[in-house]
Structures are given as C-alpha cells and as structure tokens.
C-alpha cells in the first residue's frame, strides 16, 4: 500500500507478475479472452469525500459515439471501472447506453463503477440543470464525481448547448459576473441533493485551488489537471496532495497525435529517454508514463479507442520504476502544456 497525504492510495504489492497472460476462457477458435485485470478493478484512492476512486480510468474525450459501446463493454470486461466523461465531449448518451447495456448484461453493477462528468463553462450559473441533463444522458441517478471543467464561466447558451461564444473582438466571451465561489456553491448543493457523491475542480492553478479551499464548505475531492513527463507541475501536485485533494492526470500521455493534430503540440510518447526506459522494463512508453504518474500518487485516465491499447494501458501494476528512473523522468520536464483550448478561444486562459 502506498500512502499520499490525507488520501489513501490502495495498490497491490509491486512486482506481481502474470496478470496479463492469464486466460479465463477460450472460444471455439482458441481466441484468448483476457482475465479481468484484478488490480485495475481493485486499486483505488480514498477521496476526501470518503468514496473510493479507481487509480486508472478510461477517458472518453474524442471517443466517437459509434465505437463507444464496443469499447466500454470491452473495458468493463477487462476490469476498467472508472470512466471520465464531460458534457462538452458530447458523448454522454453513448457512454450511458454502453453502461446501461453492461449492467443489463450482468457484467458489472452500478455501485462497482466510478463515473465522472464535468460542468461546462457556459453552465457555471446552472449547475443543477446541467448536472440533471448529464445524469439523464448518462442514464444514471447519481454521479460518482462531478468536476468544474475549467475555472472559466462563459456566456450561458442554454443547457446542453455548450457553446464557447467568441465576442466581436475575437476572444472568448468570459462572464465576469459569476464568481467561482458561486459556482462551487452550486456544486455543493448537488451533493446535498444526493445527485453527486464527490465534487472537484479541473484545470485550477495552485492559487485558484487555494482560493477554493478557503470558500469551500465541501472541499474539492479531486483536481483534474494536465500532467505528464513534459508537464510535471510538481508544485501544484504537491500543494493539492498536502491539502488532501487527489490529483488526476488528464492528458497523461501528452495527448499523442490527437493533440498534435488539434493543438499543434508535442507529446512525450516519442521521447528517447522514455523509449530507453520502455526497453529496460519491457513495457511500452505509455505504460512507463502511466506508472510514473501512479508512483507519484497521481491517478490517470488515458484515452484510447483501440482495444489493444485499452489492455496495454491497464497493465501498469506489475512493475515498479526505481527511484533513479523516477528521478530520470523528473529531469525531462519541459513545462510544456499540450491541451491548448486557447487556440480556439482567442485567449490563453492560463496566462
């Protein structure tokens, strides 16, 4: 078991082998159906809310609706229990359908799943309505985790419309009348109404996180931030962990080619040092990166639409990076963000 300040990380003993090669059944063609990855299913962090969140989840940003069902059903079969969605991804309905089918087929029970979705910028003043809309689309009666997607309230465009209105000046129409404190009150109300178990923040800087702690009656359980070897954010991670906020790495693989295409950014997946470590541990670069984040008590939600990568990204509990290799990865930091929505908003919100 590894500990983080205030949050408890429950992970299996390292060095266990044989997870990926076991076979639970063969069909007539001798096809190997993978064993349920028990560590994927059982490793968890206890959030400040008292609820447990699996350490590895599947992010569904840019997962297209038509492939969702097969992906989610396969993910559940191999042990994924944690799914990260957002109203803005416009695929809550497809995720909801897939979850409903998995439950109906007896593959999993609702209470075994951990479902996250997020309040979009244009809905900051309408947390209740937005949350109910997400719940309806996801076909759920409660969320495990609801996050403020960005600390950027924008012009309201109607529940479910989720537009990012750009003003005549070419920059995002940011609403300066809504305080993040009032957004947080709306989030807290959702907990008291029983619609949401844990609430959290996303893309909050150290100082905005500090502010949230000052006004919160219910403290944020999670800060979901971009972090990977090229964007390590050691101070923010340490600050959150010191105050009992679990850090979840979004874009944990640096977004790979998807972010290169969308934002023109560079992913760490091709880094020669990481490739060397992958050789050394007989793992993929993606597995090295995910393992590195887990070893610094950061939960991860890599996205993939490919079944073989789904499996690969889940096998991060059967090896351990040495302290020297953790330090080596530390030296790769370039303070380089890859998710750059400002490119479309005409304003860099992180400045």
Contact residues toward ligand NAP (CB under 6 A) are 59-61, 84, 149, 202-203, 224, 250-258, 269, 284, 286, 301-306, 309, 312-313, 339
In the complex with ligand NAP, which residue's Cβ is closer, 186 or 252? Answer: 252
Sequence-separated contacts (24+) of 303-306 with Cβ below 8 Å: 303/58, 303/59, 303/60, 303/61, 303/62, 303/63, 303/258, 304/58, 305/62, 305/63, 305/64, 305/67, 305/71
Please, what is the minimum distance in Å from the beta carbon of residue 87 to ligand NAP? 12
Please, what is the minimum distance in Å from the beta carbon of residue 307 to ligand NAP? 9
Which among 80, 89, 126, 230 is annotated as catalytic? 89
In the complex with ligand NAP, which residue's Cβ is closer, 3 or 270? Answer: 270
Count of helices and strands (H, E) across the chain: 13, 14
The candidate with the shortest Cα–Cα distance to 146, out of 177, 114, 178, 175, is 114
Please, what is the minimum distance in Å from the beta carbon of residue 314 to ligand NAP? 10
For residues 99 and 290, what is the distance between their CA atoms, to the nearest angstrom? 25
Please, what is the minimum distance in Å from the beta carbon of residue 65 to ligand NAP? 14
For residues 3 and 1, what is the distance between their CA atoms, to the nearest angstrom? 7
Q: What is the DSSP letter of 88?
A: G
The candidate with the shortest Cα–Cα distance to 81, out of 52, 118, 40, 116, is 40
In the complex with ligand NAP, which residue's Cβ is closer, 218 or 289? Answer: 289
Task: Please count the other Cβ atoms lying within 10 Å of the Cβ belonging to residue 156.
Answer: 17
SS3 label, residue 350: coil
User: In sequence order, what DSSP letters do the residues of 272-309 get, joined into one string?
Assistant: HHHHHHHHHHTS-HHHHHHHHHHHTT-EE----S-HHH
DSSP H or E stretch at residue 52? strand 52-54
In the complex with ligand NAP, which residue's Cβ is closer, 154 or 203? Answer: 203
Please, what is the minimum distance in Å from the beta carbon of residue 300 to ligand NAP? 8
In the complex with ligand NAP, which residue's Cβ is closer, 187 or 301? Answer: 301
Please, what is the minimum distance in Å from the beta carbon of residue 257 to ligand NAP? 5
For residues 176 and 212, what is the distance between their CA atoms, to the nearest angstrom? 17
Instruction: Specify whether 89 is catalytic.
Output: yes
In the complex with ligand NAP, which residue's Cβ is closer, 149 or 197? Answer: 149
Please, what is the minimum distance in Å from the beta carbon of residue 47 to ligand NAP? 17
In the complex with ligand NAP, which residue's Cβ is closer, 192 or 334? Answer: 334
Length of the chain: 351
Which residue of the chain is nearest ligand NAP when measured via CB? 59
The candidate with the shortest Cα–Cα distance to 110, out of 84, 142, 133, is 142
What residues act catalytically?
89
């Amino acid at each position: 078991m590894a500990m983080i300040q205030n949050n408890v990380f429950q992970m299996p003993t390292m060095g266990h082998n044989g997870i990926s090669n076991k076979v639970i059944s063969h069909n007539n063609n001798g096809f190997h159906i993978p064993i349920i990855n028990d560590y994927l299913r059982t490793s968890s962090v206890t959030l400040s809310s008292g609820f447990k969140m699996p350490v590895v989840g599947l992010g569904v940003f840019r997962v297209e609706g038509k492939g969702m069902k097969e992906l989610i059903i396969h993910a559940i079969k191999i042990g994924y229990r944690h799914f990260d969605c957002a109203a803005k991804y416009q695929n809550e309905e497809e995720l909801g359908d897939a979850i409903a089918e998995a439950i109906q087929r007896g593959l999993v029970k609702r209470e075994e799943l951990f479902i996250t979705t997020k309040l979009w910028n244009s809905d900051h003043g309408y947390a209740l309505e937005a949350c109910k809309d997400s719940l309806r689309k996801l076909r759920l009666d409660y969320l495990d985790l609801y996050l403020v997607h960005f600390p950027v309230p924008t012009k309201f465009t109607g529940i479910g419309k989720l537009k990012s209105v750009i003003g005549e000046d070419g920059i995002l129409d940011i609403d300066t009348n809504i305080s993040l404190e009032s957004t947080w009150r709306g989030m807290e109300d959702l907990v008291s109404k029983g619609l949401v178990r844990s609430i959290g923040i996303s893309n909050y800087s150290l100082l905005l996180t500090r502010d949230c702690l000052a006004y919160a009656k219910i403290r944020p359980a999670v800060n979901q931030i971009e972090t990977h070897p090229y964007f390590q954010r050691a101070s923010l991670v340490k600050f959150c962990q010191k105050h009992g906020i679990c850090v979840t790495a979004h874009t944990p693989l640096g977004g790979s080619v998807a972010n290169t295409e969308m934002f023109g950014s560079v992913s760490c997946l091709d880094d020669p040092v990481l490739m060397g470590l992958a050789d050394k541990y007989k793992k993929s670069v993606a597995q090295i990166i995910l393992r590195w984040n887990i070893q610094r008590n950061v939960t991860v939600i890599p996205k993939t639409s490919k079944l073989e990568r789904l499996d690969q990204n889940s096998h991060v509990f059967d090896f351990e990076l040495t302290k020297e290799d953790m330090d080596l990865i530390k030296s790769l930091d370039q303070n380089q963000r890859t998710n750059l929505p400002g490119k479309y908003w005409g304003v860099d919100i992180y400045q």
